[in-house]
Amino acid sequence: MNPLQGYLLLSALLFSIGLAGALLRRNAILVLIGIELMLNAANLNFIAFWRYGPVPAALTGIMFTIFSIAVAAAEAAVGLAIILAAYRHSRTTDLDRMDSLKG
Amino acid sequence: MTWIVQNLWLVPVLPMLAAAICALMGYRHRIAAASLAIGSMAISFLLALCAFAHVLGSHAGNGVQTVNVPWFQVGGEWLKLGWMLDPLTSLMLLMVTFVGLLIFIYSVGYMAHDDNFTRFFCFLALFAGAMLGVVIANSLLLLFMCWEVVGLTSYLLIGFWYAKPEAAAAAKKAFVVTKIGDLGFLLGMVWLYEKTGTLLFYDGGAGCLEHSALAHLVAQATILGLATSTAIALLIFCGAAGKSGQVPLHVWLPDAMEGPTPVSALIHAATMVAAGVFLIARIYPLMSVTASGSPAPSVALEVVAWVGATTAVFGALIAVAQFDIKRILAYSTISQLGYMMMGLGVGGVAVGIFHLITHAFFKSLLFLGAGSVIHGCDGEQDIRRMGGLSKSMPITFAAYTAGMLALCGFPLFSGFWSKDDILHAAHSWSISQAPFYMGAFGALLTAFYMTRQLYYVFAGTSRLAELGRDSTHLSDPHGAAHHAPVHPHESPAVMTVPLVILAAFAVLLGFIGTPAWPWFQSFIDGQPASFSFAAFYGFGILPVMLSSALLVFLGLALGWALYGRRPIESAASSDPLAELQPQAFSLLGRAFVVDALYGATLVRLNTVCSRISDWLDRWVWNGAVQAVSYFVLALAWLDNFFDAAVVNSGFDEGCESVSRGGQALSLLQGGQVQSYMRIIGGALIVLVLFLLWGTKI
Amino acid sequence: MTASFTILAAITVAGMAAAMGLRNAVHCVLALTVGFAGIAALYLQLGAQFVGFTQVLVYVGAVAILAVFAIMMTQSRPSATPAPRAPLWAAGGAVAAAVFAVLAWAIHSNALSVQALPPQPEAAPSATVQQIGDALMHRFVLPLEIVGLLLTAALIGAVVIAMGRREEMK
């Protein structure tokens, strides 16, 4: 098992933890955090590939991660704002109670 | 190919466009509708002038210029439409647009009190457009289409005052009778297409009027030993005869006088009835083609000549004994159309068309003059109740007299030259001399009945106040309002100015086609014209001219002797001619009882046929239909059972299963974000497995 | 596969698992900061110092604090009765486990693990701030601008959404 595989496995594990959180938690804030975690796992992948990849001088992995972090920050801000608005509307952050999209 | 040839289609399309816009306008926009129609007609007239100048300028060969466009595909062949420009077309365009323009202007005055002014101009413009389409068509099919639109608008215009039962009946009659002719036309056209594969007249050597097609047609024989070309030509002549009121299809034309007078002038004097003559002139190569080498005229032309001569005398005879001012003119028109047909048959295109053009001017002048008289007398149409109008309507009187002299063929008036041309051609016809004598007799009658009409209408004292007005005139839109004594009055300038212009043409137009300077004839034939007085001394010209002039004077004198010498005192007094020959007069007055004959034979036959058909319908077909219907009922019962038992339950099952499936699927749409995400996770698993599997292979 | 990697990975996984698993939401966020810090340390170990510090600034410094605020603002009052578990709730755990299994299998069985990695320097490739700045200002200037625009829009959008209607503010 080489270092790259180690990082990839770690990132897969973090991704699955984030997914599990997003799937299992009922608190909308924690679901959002789970999604952030999945994003972080993906970022870790990028950095690992950059580090062990054939052309590290191109800096593409780093750039991708930087932009990804920026986008994730924007997503977190908007997502939390939406949760606040939804909370103000229904007085709960429980996702099981938020089913007004039901078909 | 110059601009005007390329854009000749604008000439008919502009009035049609005006008609379309008028049709969409409200009935209150009277001025807009009239100015639109007149404006489009004026532009068309200018374009026609351009076309005429173009033909005049490029006068070489026979000068046929065509533009053909593919219309749609039938099987493997393209059906083509197109327009053409040749001397005949350019002259007809000029005549139709000019006379049409004057009549449009006149109509503004004549129809001023009518509620349906806008509708009238819509129909009028549509008619003019269709007529111009007939003139420029380079395809028998396009000609036929425009021809039918002409027939339709004629129906609409004759029945313009459709509230009058007579007008509605006349419109129906005109439509049905002309359709009988058109049926022949259609058959001929289909036959022609079957034989030659094209309906274009001229198509660079491949058209149906060009040499190769004609040679092909004339070589084939059909029933009764007729050449195919002759049979087709005669079928198409049926259409022309219906449109141009030739015997025996003339019966609709007198009744068509129920329409407004400008319509009578435009349709039943100048243009539509001329369409038949024009059609014969247009397909003249087909009419005149004979087996190579034989000098005799073709059978088709012979028929045309005989029919024309018969019609000329027939119409003139009936016109002698009519009392309705417009009916006299209608029978006169029939007679003159007979002359044109005869001219085509015995002389050629130029002879017939020359009379067509001059006749268009003086006959529309006469109709418009009659309209002016009717307008001035508040809707009175019976010449027995007129009289003395020369004092109260001087302009109309002068113009009317000019038109009357032109119609009679008074020397130096336009009708003289054109009618003389026909008589001369008939005189030198190789088959028989009879058409010449018939034509001469017709000329005598023409002079007589026009003199009679002139004395009745304009001379003596006014008899308008007499007798009161009978009920038939109450429905007339002009005379409906009052019973007070009518004082004849001159018409407004918008009506008299066209009269004066037309009168000038009626007098002078003949000089473009005198024997000394046959410009018209050479223009049609595409040769340069030369001026020489010596032509008067050519074979048989002067004797014919002198004899026809003598006949005209004789006719005028007869008319004066019977009607002018002793003024007509009372509207109730009987006609002097009727006193001489009461039986003949009444026969003529009832128009040779053709209508009654048709009623007794054709209509009765039709009735009998319809009775038989009715009986067959009731007992034979009805029984069969009943049997079939019972059979169908049984089938339907079976079907019903099958439906209920098999199909219905099957569908019910299907519907239920679809609905159950929908319910099951709707569980997925729980509104729970996390359930959606679970599915996405499952999809991710499947995707990764799929990619892995792909790399393994 | 060094000891430092193993330790950092263990800390990160533990922090994240705690963040997703603890009952109290505030505790969750605290564990989350540990996990984020662990990832930042992994970045440093991989030689991406700039990204590591960015991670600390953005996630530990901003997102975690934001989450704390959101939790504080929404959980001022405990919900009266816990909603019943939705059907198929447990399936979520199974899906997550299956995803991990599939990914691990993929990583393990992929050609990447069979082939030798390209020869690489033992030292991390250089990614100094100057290089990153150069790249951002030249090659990636357009994405940079777009991300700037996106962040501005997100900022305004978040304020507007969270502000609510005017009457509620009174």
Crossing angle of helices B394-408 and B493-508, in 10° steps, is 30
> Which stretches does DSSP call E strand in B36-140?
65-74, 77-85
β-strands B77-85, B65-74 pairing:
antiparallel
Cβ–Cβ of A98/B681 closer than 8 Å?
no
Contact B66, B237 (CB under 8 A): no
The contacts of residue B100 (CB under 8 Å, 6+ apart) are: B41, B45, B128, B131, B266, B270, B271
CB atoms within 10 A of CB B516: 13
Cβ–Cβ of B666/A96 closer than 8 Å?
no
Contact B522, B353 (CB under 8 A): no
pLDDT of residue C167: 56
Report chain A residues whose CB lies below 8 A from the CB of C127. 56, 59, 62
Distance CA C28, CA A39 (A): 18
The contacts of residue B193 (CB under 8 Å, 6+ apart) are: B199
| Token reading at B518 | 């046959």
Contact B271, B92 (CB under 8 A): no
- By the CB < 8 Å criterion, does B543 face chain C? no
Residue B418 identity (one-letter amino acid): S
**Average of pLDDT values for C97-125?**
71
Of B298 and A65, which is predicted with more confidence?
A65
Per the DSSP assignment, residues forming a β-bridge with A94 are A27
Residues of chain B in Cβ contact (below 8 Å) with chain A: 666, 669-674, 677-678, 681
Q: Which residues 77-106 on chain C approach chain B with CB closer than 8 angstroms? A: 86, 88, 91-92, 95-96, 98-99, 102-103, 105-106
B670 → chain C, closest CA residue: C86
Considering CB atoms only, which of A2, A57, A84 is closest to C70? A84
* Interchain CB contacts (distance < 8 Å): A and B: 31
pLDDT of residue B471: 40
Cβ–Cβ of B678/C99 closer than 8 Å?
no
**Average of pLDDT values for A80-94?**
82
- By the CB < 8 Å criterion, does C66 face chain B? no
Cβ–Cβ of B670/C86 closer than 8 Å?
yes
Residue from B667, B678, B686, B697 to probe the interface with C (highest C Cβ count within 10 Å): B678
Cβ–Cβ of B672/C86 closer than 8 Å?
yes
Closest-CA residue to C74 (of A31, B670, B674, B671): A31
| B659–chain C nearest CA distance, Å | 23
- By the CB < 8 Å criterion, does B678 face chain C? yes
Cβ–Cβ of A71/C51 closer than 8 Å?
no
Report chain A residues whose CB lies below 8 A from the CB of B671. 98-103
Of B218 and A9, which is predicted with more confidence?
A9
CB atoms within 10 A of CB B75: 6
Contact B335, B592 (CB under 8 A): no
Q: What is the DSSP letter of B561?
A: I
- By the CB < 8 Å criterion, does A2 face chain B? no
pLDDT of residue A100: 67
| Token reading at B282 | 């247009």
The contacts of residue B295 (CB under 8 Å, 6+ apart) are: B430
- By the CB < 8 Å criterion, does B681 face chain C? yes
Q: What is the pTM of this model?
A: 0.62
The pLDDT tens digits of the residues spanning C73-92 come to: 887 555 555 555 666 677 88
Distance CA B370, CA B307 (A): 29
Neighbours of A (≥3 Cβ pairs closer than 8 A)?
A: B, C
Provide ipTM, 2 decimals: 0.87
- Mark the ranges of chain B whose per-residue pLDDT is less than 70: 1, 59-63, 224-225, 291-296, 464-487, 526-540, 567-574, 591-593, 696-697
pLDDT of residue B474: 39
- By the CB < 8 Å criterion, does C73 face chain B? no
Query: If pLDDT is split at 50, 70 and 90, which confidence band does C112 have?
Result: low
Report chain A residues whose CB lies below 8 A from the CB of B681. 19, 23
Report chain B residues whose CB lies below 8 A from the CB of A23. 674, 677-678, 681
Report chain A residues whose CB lies below 8 A from the CB of B672. 95-96, 99, 102
| C168–chain B nearest CA distance, Å | 27
CB atoms within 10 A of CB B488: 20
* Burial status of residue B680 (CB atoms within 10 A of its CB: 0-12, 13-18, 19 or more): middle
Distance CA A40, CA A21 (A): 14
- By the CB < 8 Å criterion, does A88 face chain B? no
C85 → chain A, closest CA residue: A96
pLDDT of residue B537: 66
Query: If pLDDT is split at 50, 70 and 90, which confidence band does C23 have?
Result: confident
Considering CB atoms only, which of C35, C54, C132 is closest to A59? C132
Q: Which residues 11-30 on chain A approach chain C with CB closer than 8 angstroms? A: 12-21, 23-27, 29-30
Asked whether residue C147 carries a pLDDT value surpassing 80, the answer given is yes
Closest-CA residue to A10 (of C124, C110, C48, C17): C17
- By the CB < 8 Å criterion, does A31 face chain C? no
Contact B246, B303 (CB under 8 A): no
